[in-house]
Amino acid sequence: MFKVITQRCLKLSWVTLAGSDFAQVSTLNRASHIATIILFAILSSQPASSEEPIDFNRDIRPILAENCFYCHGQDGNKRQADLRLDIRDQAIKTNAIQPGKSSESSIVARIHSESVEDQMPPPKSNRHLTADQKRLLEKWIDQGANYSDHWAFVAPVRPPLPKLANPNWVRTPVDHFVQAKLEAEGLTPSPEADRATLIRRLHIDLIGLPPTPEQVDAFVNDSDPKAYEKLVDQLLESKHYGERMALSWLDAARYADSNGFQQDGDTWQWIWRDWVVRAFNENLPFDQFTIWQLAGDLLPNATNDQKIASGFNRNHLLNGEGGAIAEEQRFVVLFDRIDTTATTWLGLTMACAQCHDHKYDPITQVDYYSLLDAFNRVPETGTPQFFSSRIRVGAPFLELPSEEYKLKIAEFDSQITELEKEAAPMIDASFMGWRAGLFLDGEPADGKGLPDDLTKLLKKPEAERTNEEKLSVETLLRKYFDEKVRSSINYKSPAISKLSELRKQLGDYKANSLPRVMIMSDDKPRESHVLSRGEYLKPTDKVTFNTPGFLPPLAADAPRNRLGFAQWLVSPEQPLTARVQINRMWQNLFGVGLVKTTEDFGVQGEYPVHMALLDWLAVEFRESGWNMKAMQRLLLNSATYRQSSRMTPELRTRDSENRLVARASRFRMPSLILRDWSLYAAQMLDPRIAGAPVYPYQPDGIWESLAITKERDFTYPASSGNDLYRRSLYTFWRRTVGPANMFDASNRQTCRVRPSTTSTPLHALTTLNDPTWVEAARVLAEHSMKHSTVSADQIRFAFRKVLGRPPRDKELATLEKAMQKQLAFYTEDPVAAKAFVEVGSATRDAALELPMHAALTAVCLAILNLDEAMTRE
Amino acid sequence: MENLFQQNMARVNRRQLFGSAASGVGVAALASLLGGNALADKSTATPGSKGLPDLPHHLAKAKRVVLLWQGGGPSHVDLFDHKPTLQEMAGKDIPDSIRGSTRLSTMSSGYGKWPCVPAIKPFQNYGQSGIPLSSMLPKIGGIADEMTLVKSMHTEAVNHAPGVTFFLTGSQVPGRPSMGSWLSYGLGSESDNLPTFVVMTSSDKSKTCGQLFFDYYWGSGFLPSRFQGVRFRNTGDLVPYLANPPGVSPTARRALLDDIAIMNAEHLSDYGDPEIDTRIAQYEMAFQMQTSVPDLIDFSKESASTIERYGPDALAKGTFGNNCLIARRLLERGVRFVQLMHAGWDQHNNLYTQLEQQCADTDAPAAALVQDLKERGMLEDTLVIWGAEFGRTPFGQGDPAKPNGRDHFGRAFSWWMAGGGVKKGNVYGATDDYGWNITENPVHVHDMQATILHLCGIDHTRLTYRFQGRQFRLSDIHGDVVKGIVS
């Protein structure tokens, strides 16, 4: 029976998602595409067993949500025929559903109708019910048309561990659930992957850097029965762990180093990015991780770190275009804040409720704006403030002068004081001279361009001025002189001109170098309203902060602000937060989430194949004190995680997406990691953690599409030296033009919680031709040549640096042949050889024989481009 | 698994047939590795992407699209929408009754004076259809009988980036898939060795306007990233990383790719993951692109008269003229969506000097593209679109006594379209005497999107993609096909 249920789940999820997922499926080649279609065909041909009870959430709600709720759901504005199918009583009252009597239920008649007017869903709606779905609906009605609350909106309860026929395989509770489902499906888990694969997999998933051949050997030969667990613990304590974990969090947080519109001002948000890395490394519990990022600024006696953490909600785009309407932009930012927060923590798409009650989920427009109220108290304008032609940051922000900055300012100040002393007599004399000149022609006030208030005072005969006015005249005159006149007397004294120059330099230095990280603050309470159709100019009913009505209420004594909201998110009654986060952790390790729709746990989201496992993990996560590393350990130590990722023909046909986890998943590493991997394999990576963004190799004119403005200089400020080899995480991310070699990355414009790992020719061109990879290949070749003079050993050395395992004989033979071919080319053309091994700015040992070095560089480039080298297996 | 190998071999053989040099040894090795040559003629796998199975929804009148984006907002009352009243009222305020409460940019919303500024150059009637256009656009006038001029475009956006993003993605906020991505996703590719969706940029020579081009104007949003537009660059390689590294000859590269393919194929037999096969195919296509892309800018087979027609800049890299010429060559080679983005129409304070210059730079190339396509028999199934994020205010900006520019204006402006399925010699929609309010047949951003998709054989309400629990589409939840544009 289990088998049938699971298969039906798979089938339903496929049907429901067919529209959207076609593209993803077709990124695979036709074969898997065909396999999927075959799978679908097989499943479609198996009607659900007649005795089996229907589960509303699993079987029926997806059909109703996809096909009916758009017009017959919660949204009153679009509701047709006054019919609601999302509430049982309403559906019965209108005769649409007669429990137990499908033949008397009007929806059954309508779904079977052939008439264009009567048929439901209407043929024009682009929605269509399959024969199977129609049968399911009928059977559900016949069985009593029971509704139940959407699973994800009910707090998870820890399920018991399932009983197993063969418990030997099990290592952690995770395996109980996986094994139970596999047994029901008549499948067996894949064998454990070999150790070389396991250490490489762990390195990819936990730190994103390759194990050295020595580390691989040590692990392979470690006879300690806890060798694997030891390795996991070691990697969880690596300082690179936080960098790896930060990558997907930055995607969710739409983190970038610039504002994202015309002028695209640079920001200081990397200070927030560094906090994220620290927080992961220190294993800040997820509840605190949440509270700090959403409301760190509101904590009592908030530390700088807590304030910086709140920058999560300041990573949005900022539009400073000439003519932009600030208030309109402020609402764009607010909406983005709600969308990002809701997707990241609740796995809900609140955005729909910006304009109308949500069509599928029970989120009303009032819910939306009641939540928005908590975010609507920030003293911000909606546009960035101009600090220099490069830096544009919007208040509120935290100024964090570094030691270096303070020293530099002190240096400026002492120089200025020094010069002031030197120049003072000269300046005073000039002022007196200028002042006298003002009165020479007897008409002191006119035609001198003096400010109005000053002119008015000057027009008053001196005798009539009060003492206060006399003083004021002098102050204003001196002020005017200092600001407007003094620069014209610079030529008179080197000290004066130096002083002016220094003052200007100081101003520029402050504007460009004083770190100002944008953070949250509630210093400007505003009234919040429901906005008609989401338009900021059409406020209607006033609302005050509250959490969405369909979720557990705020505690009575909770602060009615962002802090209360953040605490509510991590309260034990909250059904979503733990599930959503644990699902993302699963996705990072298994390629696909337990709920595939990572961004949507609403009624349109996927009904998880492994519901019990998800709930078990969510409860465990909360009860562990939201301990992220402990949860990682639980997943990583499982037998499930340790399986081989080989795909048997049977598994490819039965479960091409690996939802049953009868094997480990295989997926291409993120491009940011691919770059780090190559640099590390070539022993070039600069492992420094944190700091200001760097500017490694990009194609010439990477920002040329921006360089058509005169408003600022958009020349790419290419780094040199070690900065070229920092981890990709530290590459400057211009929001309008992302780094060209970090393909498939999130666009960092809106919140993204599901990664994209496609395969296109442009990606191949990048890893074959980008100087980053070519330089890494030639430096790796250089190390290989220093390691050995024997060709096979050189290749083996490079191979292991990239892949960990030694090459098999056949592979070595192929690569040696490749080497001979390349050597022939380069022996014939030493000029080409020289050009090839000079790519990049790393110094090269001139003693290395040219053709040999070039040929080995080509082979190393091939190794870096092997499918296996780019894939986490 | 057999099947995977067969497809792989089919592709390798295909490459051999299509004649890349020196493929010999490696391919032979691969062939023997995979067990012979029994699969020669079953070549079905092509690296180009397939479209959705249910598309087109109806017969497509346009098979491909070229969008000539005129960034900055060309002045409709100077170029397309002739308003003698502005002449009569020159210098006097636009009446309150006309202005109403129109939302303007903050550059002019605080004005107390709204002086009418007439068209800076006379209009004249063009073609048999007699469509009145500015005398600054004589060449475009020459194709008047091919076009539908839409005078009733409108948008809610008041600024450039949100306005451009609105037209190209259906939302003012960046992050959704762009029009070209939708079409690539829906209709797939007709080219095996060129991207489906290509973008080129240019700007006015004096860089007066500074409209920048952002990646999200051709982004794929939540669609898979392979549907994002590939921007041809104006410096260095046309496509990033297209050229082999220094010192790597095509022969050496070919040999290396063959060896990589052998290694990957072995790995495929070990792991059985179809993604490995995809990777092998993509590496092959990358190699092909290294020839097919540079070929696009090899103009040696273009006649002198053709090049001349595209204007004096036709051979200068990074100009609108050059991009129009490349666009035609892309369309000929089966590229689905070509998006040219030209900046320089944002005349806030240099209307009298820059507008004419801007017309001079863009008039000939745009017209030449239409004519060239027509002469090659391609215009009938190629949709050419000329338009921008908004128009410009009928009143002047700057000193009210001596205005020298116009501000952004989204309430009414003009676009023109020609080719695939577009009515010829046709004017659609109208505005009042001041070019301020639309008086008939308004065409909203979403209507235009619906119409463009319609011409490509797509029902805009049915080309959807599920993301975050919602079926998204280019036209958001709005839009009607404008029948008056469709032939």
The residue of chain A nearest to residue B289, with distances taken between CA atoms, is A761
Most B CBs within 10 Å, among A580, A747, A859, to test the B interface: A747
Q: Which of B212, B271, B283 sits opposite A709 (nearest CB)?
A: B212
Contact criterion met (CB < 8 Å) for B278 and A30: no
The pLDDT assigned to B41 comes to 26
Question: For residue range B442-475, what is the model confidence (pLDDT) as tens digits?
Answer: 999 999 999 999 999 999 999 999 887 778 999 9
DSSP symbols for A726-769: B-GGGB---SSS--TTSTT---SSS---S------HHHHHHHHH
Q: Which of B430, B392, B455, B366 is nearest to B183 (CA)?
A: B455
The residue of chain B nearest to residue A664, with distances taken between CA atoms, is B271
Question: For residue range B363-381, what is the model confidence (pLDDT) as tens digits?
Answer: 999 999 999 999 999 999 9
Confidence check: pLDDT of B43 > 60:
no
Confidence check: pLDDT of B49 > 80:
no
Contact criterion met (CB < 8 Å) for A28 and B162: no
Contact criterion met (CB < 8 Å) for B275 and A666: yes
Asked if B241 reaches chain A (Cβ–Cβ under 8 Å), the answer is yes
Of A71-85, A525-539, B14-28, B195-209, minimum mean pLDDT range: B14-28
CA distances (Å), A827 to each of A823, A850, A859, in order?
A: 6, 8, 15
Q: Which of A60, A55, A62, A48 is nearest to A18 (CA)?
A: A62
| Chain A neighbors of B244, CB-CB under 8 A | 768-769
The pLDDT assigned to A295 comes to 98
Strands B430-431 and B438-440 turn out to be antiparallel
Q: Which of A649, A701, A832 sits opposite B249 (nearest CB)?
A: A832
The answer to whether A771 and A697 have CB atoms below 8 angstroms apart is yes
The answer to whether B456 and B62 have CB atoms below 8 angstroms apart is yes
Contact criterion met (CB < 8 Å) for A649 and B1: yes
Percent of chain B with pLDDT over 90: 67
d(CA B116, CA B94): 6
d(CA B437, CA B102): 10
First-to-last CA distance in chain A? Answer: 33
The answer to whether A340 and A519 have CB atoms below 8 angstroms apart is no
d(CA B221, CA A67): 25
Q: Which of B360, B420, B418, B425 is nearest to B387 (CA)?
A: B418
CA atoms within 13 A on the CB side of B146: 26
CA distances (Å), B197 to each of A267, A741, B187, B288, B338, in order?
A: 32, 19, 11, 17, 6
Q: Give B 120-159 residues with CB within 8 A of chain A.
A: 158-159
Q: What are phi and psi of A435, to 5 degrees?
A: -65, -45
The secondary structure of residue A162, as a DSSP letter, is: P
The pLDDT assigned to A472 comes to 83
Question: For residue range B282-319, what is the model confidence (pLDDT) as tens digits?
Answer: 899 899 999 899 999 999 999 999 999 999 999 999 99
The secondary structure of residue B122, as a DSSP letter, is: -
- Secondary structure (3-state) at B340: strand
Q: Which of A319, A352, A825 sits opposite B470 (nearest CB)?
A: A352
**What tokens does B148 get?**
């539908």
Strands B64-71 and B426-428 turn out to be unpaired
Contact criterion met (CB < 8 Å) for B271 and A32: no
The answer to whether A579 and A150 have CB atoms below 8 angstroms apart is no
Q: Give B 439-458 residues with CB within 8 A of chain A.
A: none
Q: What is the largest CA-CA distance in chain B?
A: 85
The pLDDT assigned to A760 comes to 82
The answer to whether B344 and B407 have CB atoms below 8 angstroms apart is no
d(CA A758, CA A28): 9
| Chain A neighbors of B39, CB-CB under 8 A | none
Contact criterion met (CB < 8 Å) for A747 and B465: no
Q: Give B 390-409 residues with CB within 8 A of chain A.
A: 407-408
Question: For residue range B412-434, what is the model confidence (pLDDT) as tens digits?
Answer: 999 999 999 999 999 999 999 99
Confidence check: pLDDT of B15 > 50:
no
The pLDDT assigned to B210 comes to 61
Q: Which of B47, B211, B230 sits opposite A762 (nearest CB)?
A: B230
Q: Find how far residue B225's CA is from the centre of its chain.
A: 18
Strands A516-518 and A528-531 turn out to be unpaired
Q: Which residues of chain A have pLDDT under 50?
A: 1-50
Q: Which of A126, A325, A831 sits opposite B106 (nearest CB)?
A: A325
The answer to whether A132 and A78 have CB atoms below 8 angstroms apart is no
How many angstroms separate the CA of residue B193 from the nearest CA in chain A?
Answer: 9
Contact criterion met (CB < 8 Å) for A822 and B256: yes
- Secondary structure (3-state) at A292: helix
Contact criterion met (CB < 8 Å) for A750 and B201: no
The pLDDT assigned to A705 comes to 77
Q: Which of B468, B479, B487 is nearest to B221 (CA)?
A: B468
The answer to whether A162 and A180 have CB atoms below 8 angstroms apart is yes
The pLDDT assigned to B399 comes to 87
Q: Which of A723, A784, A447, A826 is nearest to B247 (CA)?
A: A826
Q: Which of B99, B90, B133 is nearest to B427 (CA)?
A: B133
Task: Look up tokens 């309508």; give the residue.
Answer: A110
Most A CBs within 10 Å, among B196, B282, B468, to test the A interface: B468
**What tokens does A422 get?**
């030197």
The residue of chain B nearest to residue A600, with distances taken between CA atoms, is B468
Q: Which of A128, A68, A578, A536 is nearest to A335 (CA)?
A: A536
Rounded-to-10 torsion of CA A775, A781, A783, A786: -140
Contact criterion met (CB < 8 Å) for A817 and B160: no
d(CA B105, CA B391): 12
The pLDDT assigned to A16 comes to 31
A697 class by beta-carbon count within 10 Å (0-12 exposed, 13-18 middle, 19+ buried): buried
The answer to whether A137 and A60 have CB atoms below 8 angstroms apart is yes
The pLDDT assigned to B7 comes to 54
| Chain A neighbors of B105, CB-CB under 8 A | 322-325
| Chain A neighbors of B45, CB-CB under 8 A | 29-30
Task: Residue count of chain A, please give it.
Answer: 873
| Chain A neighbors of B23, CB-CB under 8 A | none
CA atoms within 13 A on the CB side of A858: 39
Question: For residue range A348-360, what is the model confidence (pLDDT) as tens digits?
Answer: 988 888 888 887 8
The residue of chain A nearest to residue B259, with distances taken between CA atoms, is A818
The answer to whether A171 and A637 have CB atoms below 8 angstroms apart is yes
Q: What is the ipTM of this complex?
A: 0.84
What mean pLDDT value characterizes chain B? 87
Q: Which of A631, A678, A637 is nearest to A774 (CA)?
A: A678
pTM of the full structure: 0.83
Return the bridge partners of B282, or none: none
